[in-house]
Amino acid sequence: MGFNPLEHQGIPLERQLRNWRELNVEPVDPDHGDPYTKCRVITMNGIEVEAILFSHQFARHCPDPEVKRQLAEVRYIEHQQQKAVNWLLPGLSSVLETTIAYEQVAVDLTGWVARHEPDPYLKQAYEFGVLEDFDHLYRYANLYEMIEHRKAETIVDGLTEVMPGRPTKFHHRNPVDNVREPYDRTKTDPLSKLHALTIMSAEQQTMNFYMNVGPQYMEPIARQLYQEIGLIEEEHVTHYESLVDPGETWWEQLVNHEYNECYLYHSFMEQESDPKVKAVWELHLNMELEHLRIACDLMRRHDGREPAEILAPELPNVLTFEENKQFVRNLLDTQMDLTTLGTGYVRDAHERFERMQEQIHGGEEPPSERVMAQHREMFGREYRLETEGPHPDVASREKD
Amino acid sequence: MAGITASDADVVALLMRQHGEIRNLFDEVERTGGDERRAAFRRLVQLLAVHETAEEEVVHPFTRAAVTDGGKIVDDRLAEEREAKEVLSRLDGMDPDDPKFLPGLLALRLDVMAHARAEERYEFNHIRRSADKARLASMATALRAAEAMAPTHPHPGTESAAKNMALGPIAAVMDRTRDAVRKAMGKDG
């Protein structure tokens, strides 16, 4: 029998507040250790940020002062969780190093979810997104070598390949073509709800991160690349958030959020290699169990429904950070030239796509192309990390 | 600004490149053993000596003179340097195959990295802001003169500890670097 968070008791809320000493976590080593530990930290930060932003939005739409106070109490603890999690990142890392770790998350988290998503329409949405984040990783890796003279393999450690995906310049679509169809909350597999929430949260945090750190760079090409990829992250948030059924009530959404946090902390606790980080996942799981209990009570009281009706009877298999190389290579072989039209996918560059491309590029090469040209000028080659052989797409192989 | 591709004309881009090369050399020392490790460690020590000497001769004086409260910024950097140098001198006398060598090296790596990041964040940004193009270029020239004192990549046939040792003790490397920098500054500065 798997883990059912509804049957476990967490830490009572009044005992969850931490003092400064307890919040002062020791960061992970910047150059050693498991890259996937950093990926788990980045993922959980995105999850906590979404928990906080969702709770704020909920409070702004909530006329009941008693509920507002209840939300505020839990939200403050979630803020502390976000601090404890994100402060595991080392101050010694540069912004670009953290960026490359963010893109490794985007590739290997979305890759895993795509492989395990039961609904074919949702699966396609994740497969489509993976190839774009994969290309962002390659562009940032080249920028990183130009600025810091280090290779991205010192960050991704050979677990994720670095080579072209769907070219970034083709990610700029007409915004209406970024809106997908939602799953049906009454029929969908509970696992699909968790997947959608997880990937939406991760992409939203990536968007927030790039929109804030991009202007910290002095180098013009760096500033411009963050602008370009930052805009694509907005497209990804639009893409993934539209998968969620908007018919879910606020109470239902709250329960889904808390349940998902339990699922992810439980998953990461099971696989964490760093004992100090594992202790954080374990502590936070025990806090989330209580947050879930509170959310379930609110749902019963205000929605008149049993949370068990919308949740799975037990947690699904643990979500795992692991290599997705063959999966990504298969997508590179088959889905490079896809774009979206309405809520579907096509291989043709349709009129609306072409118009958007003309307008945004203004007849010039975008930053994602110029970064490669400048890198080639500087080093006489590109930076790539192709551990499993040449690029599956012949046209994407490096030209001498 | 010319941008990073014109790095030969920008002292900050050059310094950032050296920071990257220092970290790359740490990687090399960590993953090798025996004579190979000894040789890589010699190169690391030389590059550190050259890099710090050049900064003391070229970069810190500019910060002191041209940046508001630059003296305080430099004092903080020198304090970090001193700490790293103490760890370095302990390591320098040790056999790289000694079981205590690697933990010491990892401690040094963190000290050096903290110092480098502090420079990038609290000193180099002022240099980019305060120095004009010509000054960035003349400082870059001096730094390249210093760099010539420490080949970061081994020349074929010299990859042996004995020959690397032949470059002389660290103090001599620093002296030679200082002379080279001063000569270049006199010419271009």
Q: How far is CA A340 from the centre of its chain?
A: 20
Q: Give how far B56 is from chain A: nearest CA, Å.
A: 21
pLDDT of residue B187: 59
The answer to whether residue B2 is domain-embedded is no
Q: How confident is the model at residue B157 (pLDDT cuts 50, 70, 90)?
A: very low
Question: How large is the average pLDDT for residues A173-199?
Answer: 97
B27: burial class by Cβ within 10 Å (0-12, 13-18, 19+)?
Answer: middle
Number of CB atoms found within 10 A of residue B116's CB: 23
Nearest CA among A83, A89, A80 for reference residue A38: A89
The answer to whether residue B152 is domain-embedded is yes
**A271 within 8 A of A325, measured Cβ to Cβ:** no
Contact B20 A30 (CB under 8 A): no
Statement: residue A355 has pLDDT above 70: yes
A30 at B interface, C-beta within 8 A: yes
The answer to whether residue B36 is domain-embedded is yes
Question: How large is the average pLDDT for residues B55-68?
Answer: 92
B102 at A interface, C-beta within 8 A: no
Domain span holding position B157: 11-183
pLDDT of residue A103: 98
The answer to whether residue B6 is domain-embedded is no
The answer to whether residue B161 is domain-embedded is yes
Point out the residue among B16, B27, B113 whose CB comes nearest to the CB of A154. B27
What kind and span of H or E run contains A247?
none
Number of domains chain B contains: 1
Q: How confident is the model at residue B183 (pLDDT cuts 50, 70, 90)?
A: confident
Question: How large is the average pLDDT for residues A206-220?
Answer: 96
Question: How large is the average pLDDT for residues B13-37?
Answer: 95
**A199 within 8 A of A172, measured Cβ to Cβ:** no
Q: How far is CA A32 from CA A93, A154, B26, in A?
A: 12, 9, 12
Mutate to test the interface with A, among B1, B4, B108, B152 (most CBs of A within 10 A): B4
The pLDDT mean for chain A works out to 97
Q: How confident is the model at residue B20 (pLDDT cuts 50, 70, 90)?
A: very high
Statement: residue B162 has pLDDT above 80: no
pLDDT of residue A1: 54
**A115 within 8 A of A324, measured Cβ to Cβ:** yes
Q: How confident is the model at residue B16 (pLDDT cuts 50, 70, 90)?
A: very high
Take residue A388 and report the two structure tokens written for it.
């499993």
Question: How large is the average pLDDT for residues B42-71?
Answer: 92
Contact B3 A92 (CB under 8 A): no
Angle between helix B70-92 and helix B34-54 axes, rounded to 10 deg: 160
Nearest CA among A15, A18, A9, A35 for reference residue A273: A35
Q: Please tell me which of A261-275, B42-56, B136-150 the model is most confident about, judged by mean pLDDT.
A: A261-275
The answer to whether residue B3 is domain-embedded is no
Q: Give how far B181 is from chain A: nearest CA, Å.
A: 23
A90 at B interface, C-beta within 8 A: no
- DSSP code of A287? H
B161: burial class by Cβ within 10 Å (0-12, 13-18, 19+)?
Answer: middle
The answer to whether residue B119 is domain-embedded is yes
pTM > 0.90? yes
Phi, psi angles (nearest 5°) of residue A345: -125, 140
The answer to whether residue B76 is domain-embedded is yes
Q: Give how far A377 is from chain B: nearest CA, Å.
A: 8
Q: Is A341 helix (H, G, I), strand (E, B) or coil?
A: strand
Amino acid at A239: H
Mutate to test the interface with A, among B1, B5, B7 (most CBs of A within 10 A): B5
A380 at B interface, C-beta within 8 A: no
Phi, psi angles (nearest 5°) of residue A346: -135, 165
Interatomic CA distance for residues A217 and A152, integer angstroms: 18
